[in-house]
Amino acid sequence: MKTYSSQRGIALLTAILVLTLAVIAATSIASNHHLSIKRTENVVFGSQVWSYLHGGEAWAKVVLARDIDDNNGYDHNSEAWATELPALPLPGGYISGKIEDEQGKINVNNLIAGAEPDVLTRTRLETLFTLREHDPTLVQAIIDWMDPDVEAIPPNGAEDDYYTGLEYPYLTSNQPMQHISELRLVKGITQEIYDDISPFLTALPSNTAVNINTARADVLAAIVPNLGIEAAKNIIEERDEEAFDNVQTFISHPLMQGITVNPQALSTESSFFTLSSEIKVGNSFIRNRSLMNRVSNSNISVVSRVPGI
The reply to whether 133 and 223 lie within a common domain is yes
Q: Average pLDDT of 77-100?
A: 90
Domain containing 24: what range? 2-103+271-307
Percentage, residues of the chain above pLDDT 70: 87
> What is the domain count for the chain?
2
pLDDT of residue 9: 66
Cβ atoms of residues 212 and 106 within 8 Å? no
pLDDT of residue 73: 82
DSSP string, 138-165: HHHHHHHHHSSS-PPPTTT---HHHHTT
The reply to whether 68 and 122 lie within a common domain is no
Residues in the chain: 309
pLDDT of residue 84: 86
Distances (CA, A) of 277 to 52, 70, 164: 10, 25, 37
Residue 23 is part of a domain; what is its CATH number? 3.30.1300.30
Q: What is the pLDDT of residues 140-161, one digit of tens each?
A: 999 999 999 999 999 999 999 9
Residue at 206 is within a domain: no
The reply to whether 36 and 176 lie within a common domain is no
pLDDT above 90 for 251: yes
pLDDT of residue 37: 46
Q: Average pLDDT of 112-125?
A: 89
Q: What is the pLDDT of residues 2-53, one digit of tens each?
A: 566 666 667 767 777 776 766 676 676 666 555 544 544 454 445 788 888 9
The reply to whether 222 and 289 lie within a common domain is no
Amino acid at the residue 174: N
Residue 256 is part of a domain; what is its CATH number? 1.10.40.60
The reply to whether 10 and 25 lie within a common domain is yes
Residue at 205 is within a domain: no
User: Model-level pTM?
Assistant: 0.84
The reply to whether 229 and 246 lie within a common domain is yes
Residue at 207 is within a domain: no
The reply to whether 65 and 114 lie within a common domain is no
Cβ atoms of residues 154 and 162 within 8 Å? no
Residue at 244 is within a domain: yes
pLDDT of residue 49: 85
270 vs 69, more confident: 270
The reply to whether 258 and 119 lie within a common domain is yes
Residue at 299 is within a domain: yes
Residue at 225 is within a domain: yes
The reply to whether 94 and 169 lie within a common domain is no
CA atoms within 13 A on the CB side of 128: 28
The reply to whether 112 and 220 lie within a common domain is yes
pLDDT of residue 83: 87
H or E segment at 39? helix 2-70
The reply to whether 92 and 131 lie within a common domain is no
The reply to whether 259 and 294 lie within a common domain is no
